[in-house]
A and B are shown apart, each in its own frame.
Chain A
Amino acid sequence: GESVGLHLPTLSVQEGDNSIINCAYSNSASDYFIWYKQESGKGPQFIIDIRSNMDKRQGQRVTVLLNKTVKHLSLQIAATQPGDSAVYFCAGSNDYKLSFGAGTTVTVRA
């Protein structure tokens, strides 16, 4: 199976600064990774994904980096906004299921 974990449970960021959220995974057979955002009272929502044959993928204000050598991925959020305050999860796909990390709570300071 897959074990996915996050490095820090909480992250406090000044509005306008960049945020970096880290995640480690254990199963080198995982070939697909996703970042989700969960706002209070809602279900997780897809942010960005990356396949194991890539090391970087960019979206709107977000970038995911994958380092397969050390089994690490990160989510970078540029110019963090108050609406980015949420819990962020990384997930790895293996054996027909997604395994989620514990989540990092991001708080944006005005």
Chain B
Amino acid sequence: DTAVSQTPKYLVTQMGNDKSIKCEQNLGHDTMYWYKQDSKKFLKIMFSYNNKELIINETVPNRFSPKSPDKAHLNLHINSLELGDSAVYFCASSPQPGQGYGYTFGSGTRLTVV
């Protein structure tokens, strides 16, 4: 069983399109995150949800809208995709907010905007 699973693994789309990435965790964690990893491997937090409530929004453009229907799921919807959105997006979860121990990442979604 994959602890944190993301779909799709690869996503290639044209500029201006709208796309979604899904994430599910089966660890029973309360907190979930979205991170963006750029071409230089830098990992930057985008959003964090704790028990379905948004607790961190790191000045991400409002074209990005996370949705957490329950604490096991955190999806990311992106409107009007731009070339600069190309990156690898990682979902993660942890037992409590900011706890490094038990922080578990998904395997990533490589988004390419052409």
Residues of A within 8 A of B105 (CB): 43-45
Q: Is B108 an interface residue (CB 8 A)?
A: yes
Per-residue contact bits, chain B 66-99, to A (CB 8 Å; 1 contact, 0 not): 0000000000000000000000001010000111
Q: B61 an interface residue at 8 Å Cβ cutoff?
A: no
Q: Which of A38, A42, A95, A98 has the most CB of B within 10 A?
A: A98
Whether A65 sits at the interface, judged by CB under 8 Å, is: no
Task: State how many residues of chain A have any CB contact under 8 Å with chain B.
Answer: 25
Chain A interfacial positions (CB closer than 8 Å to B) = 32-34, 38, 41-46, 49, 87, 89, 91, 93-100, 102-103, 105
Which chain B residues lie closer than 8 Å to A49 at the CB level? Answer: 100-101
CB-based contact A98/B45 at 8 Å: yes
Q: How far is the CA of A40 from the CA of B66 in the complex (A)?
A: 26
The interface bits of chain B over 20-50 (1 if a CB of A lies within 8 angstroms of the residue's CB, else 0) are 0000000000000101000011111100100
The chain B residue sitting closest to A44, CB to CB, is B105
Contact yes or no, B48 A99, CB < 8 A: no
CB-CB < 8 A to A93: which residues of B?
98-100
Q: How far is the CA of A99 from the CA of B42 in the complex (A)?
A: 10
In the complex, what residue of chain A is closest to B100 when comparing beta carbons? A34
Complex Cα distance A87/B43, Å?
12
Which of B41, B48, B106, B108 is in CB contact (< 8 Å) with A97? B48
In whole Å, how far is A87's beta carbon from the nearest beta carbon of chain B? 5
